[in-house]
Amino acid sequence: MTRVFVYGTLKRGCGNHHLIASQQFIGPARTPAGFTLFSLGDYPGMVRAPGDTAGVSGELWTVDAGCLLRLDKLEGVAEGLYERVAITLAPPFADQPAETYLYLHDLGGRKPLGPEWSV
């Protein structure tokens, strides 16, 4: 089982939630400062942002290996769209790392969203 932090279309009530709905929801979570979101059209991309002071809000889930493979496919990991990385979350979930997806392409012309992606 793997802990995964999601911040966009995989969240409850969002378009791709069905891919994670059968897994275990742990609770609302947040990254520490140093991450932010950008609009990529119908979904957000999270990137490292050294000047950020807010972090990103989302949800923490525990997923099985099959689900993790489906998430990697959705996020385009093999194509280099996103990279799955381990990060430390803000308390109360700072006790162990969680996997999340960071956007890898150029953000030129993309709208910054800040700490939260709203549906």
Q: Is the Cβ–Cβ distance between 117 and 14 less than 8 Å?
A: no
Please give the distance of CA 103 from its chain centroid, rounded to a whole number.
9
pLDDT-based confidence at residue 114 (cuts at 50, 70, 90): confident
Residues with catalytic function: 75
**CATH assignment at residue 101:** 3.10.490.10
pTM for this prediction: 0.95
Q: Classify 45 in phi/psi space as left (phi over 0), alpha (psi -120 to 50) or beta.
A: beta
Domain count, the chain: 1
In a domain, 49, yes or no: yes
In a domain, 119, yes or no: no
In a domain, 96, yes or no: yes
In a domain, 67, yes or no: yes
In a domain, 105, yes or no: yes
In a domain, 54, yes or no: yes
In a domain, 106, yes or no: yes
> What integer pLDDT is reported at residue 96 of this predicted model?
85
């609770």: which residue's tokens? Answer: 27
Range of the structural domain that residue 16 is part of:
2-114
pLDDT tens column, 17-68 = 999 999 999 999 999 999 999 999 999 999 999 988 899 999 999 999 999 9
Q: Is the Cβ–Cβ distance between 89 and 28 less than 8 Å?
A: no
